[in-house]
Amino acid sequence: MSAPADVLVVGASAAGLSTAEALRRKGFQGGLTVLGAEPHLPYDRPPLSKQVLSGAWEPDRAFLRRSAELSALNAEFVLHDPAVGLDAEARTVHTASGGVLRAEAIVVATGLRPRTFAGQDGLAGVHVLRTLDDALALRAELMTSSRVVVVGDGVLGTEIAATARTMGLAVTLAGPQPAPLESQFGPLVAGQLAELHTGQGVDLRLGAAVTGLAERNGRVTGVELATGEVLPADVVVVAFGAVPATDWLAGSGLKVDNGVVCDSWCRAADGVYAVGDVARWYHSGFHTLLRLENRTNATEQAGHVAATILGESRPYTPVPFFWTDQFDVKIQVHGVLSADAEVTVVDGDMAQGRFVARYRRNGATVGVLGWRMPKQTRVRRQEVVDAFTS
Amino acid sequence: MKVTVDQDKCCAAGTCVLIAPEVFDQREDDGVVILLDTAPAGNLHAAVRECAAVCPAGAIHVGEDA
Ligand SMILES: Cc1cc2nc3c(=O)[nH]c(=O)nc-3n(C[C@H](O)[C@H](O)[C@H](O)COP(=O)(O)OP(=O)(O)OC[C@H]3O[C@@H](n4cnc5c(N)ncnc54)[C@H](O)[C@@H]3O)c2cc1C
Ligand code: SF4
């Protein structure tokens, strides 16, 4: 297969930018267009719930590249103009402003859109956190509020709770699991995470489903639980997951099912690929369709897709990785954890607040989790690699 | 090639160390990047450029001049 004459990347964030960069790094000299819905040049999302929300960083620091670096890419960035339709066969994308873009190869990199409560839009005091503008709006409101309820006991919810707490607010975290992230981390490590939050003064109201929002005169006043209790709030952050941004692909001819469904090479159709949070591809090492929502995957998968576009043929079989920072704790996870895995501390000591935990199922190491021991955790990544390549 | 790292930005993912252990390491206590070689030899240039491109925090910069 020879390289296409031109490539259009839809989505101008981590995965989209990385695809464009990897194409150039690998020698692609054809036309390159990056189409983005947001008005901003590519910026990074992980700092949004951490340094940008807390104010430790000016928003500028979250931008992924300096403008000189972007110019050197020799790509056309078409921003603030979302794609509204794709014809996969004709490899044509229509944009909201009426533009029509055609290319021999199209890469879908449109990420996720936060889930929300029905009727949440238009209610003052309720926030989601996905974009830079979301982060700045939430920060502004936290600065003038005293009580926040975070709905969502996953990675994003716990990070936001931690950051809001360090900003001095009274913070309540609500969600259905017995402890934060328990369905991934299992009871032992999730218990330690619960203790971390409680110790820092976060009020954990877990184990009860959140059923809705309470309001008065168009402004949120609290969060309603299935138990009938209402948690009072000046500000509510809804962080109970996000869905792939695939609405614009209706009628495209692509298969969409919890993401853009792709083969082992991240190909959705002839000449059409998907990367990053939006891509659900067949991981031939794990023998299953997989969709990852993490930062390093966005870049790694982008590099892989760029190689595939240029004619290399290798299935994409990464060892998943993510990190999260909460208070002074950095957690790193290599592999895939699960609540029913057998967990052993293999380095450090939980009581000392520094450890590496190994997760095993049926005798194989499926993942390692580090708690304030990033380097020592990385060293153990090989065990996960060995387990799924042997 | 002149390499610099921004330790404030580094999120301790360790991706760079997996790709170019000759040039990057991580601090024992917090995993933040340590630059072992500010002017790596020619055979490492491709790997170092790859590190700069894939670092999830954009914490690695490569200057081509020196
Ligand atoms: C607050 C926050 C904190 C995070 N923290 C961590 C962390 O600590 N560790 C970690 O590993 N991961 C973290 N993540 C996840 C990580 O940021 C994502 O995995 C990564 O951003 C995925 O990149 P992406 O390019 O696939 O998608 P996105 O970053 O979502 O980018 C998609 C882009 O496409 C654009 N778009 C959407 N629809 C259209 C359209 N129709 N036309 C054109 N453009 C469109 C969007 O506006 C967006 O700019 C965090 C995410 C968030 C939101
Ligand atoms: S890849 Fe980047 S973030 Fe990760 S350790 Fe290296 S410098 Fe730090």
ipTM of this complex: 0.91
Residue B41 sits at the chain A interface (C-beta within 8 Å) = no
Is the pLDDT score of B25 beyond 90? yes
Q: Which residue of B has its CA nearest to A56?
A: B8
Where residue A389 falls among pLDDT bands split at 50, 70, 90?
Answer: confident
Nearest CA to ligand 2 atom 4: B13
Nearest to A151 by CA among A134, A128, A168, A122: A128
pLDDT digits (tens, 9 = 90+) for A23-43: 999 999 999 999 999 999 999
Q: Considering only CB atoms, which chain A residues are within 8 Å of B54?
A: 18, 296, 299-300, 303
Residue B28 sits at the chain A interface (C-beta within 8 Å) = yes
Give every CB contact of residue A333 below 8 A, 6+ residues apart in sequence. Answer: A184, A320, A321, A322, A323, A367, A368, A369, A370
pLDDT of residue B66: 44
| CA distance from start to end of chain B | 5
The structure's pTM equals 0.96
- Residue B61: exposure state from Cβ atoms within 10 A (0-12, 13-18, ≥19): middle
CB within 8 Å: A330 and B58: no
Residues A14 and A130 sit within 8 Å (Cβ to Cβ): no
Q: Considering only CB atoms, which chain B residues are within 8 Å of A323?
A: 11-13
Of B15, B31, B53, the CB nearest to A296: B15
pLDDT digits (tens, 9 = 90+) for A299-358: 999 999 999 999 998 999 999 999 999 999 999 999 999 999 999 999 999 999 999 999
pLDDT of residue B64: 76
- Residue A90: HSE in the Cβ half-sphere, 13 Å Cα cutoff: 11
Taking the CA of residue B64 and the nearest CA in chain A, the distance in Å comes to 13
Ligand 2 neighbours by CB, cut-off 6 Å: B 5, 10-16, 24, 26, 33, 55-57, 59-60
A43 lines ligand 1 (CB under 6 A): no
Of B11, B28, B54, the CB nearest to A375: B28
A48 lines ligand 1 (CB under 6 A): yes
Residue B15 sits at the chain A interface (C-beta within 8 Å) = yes
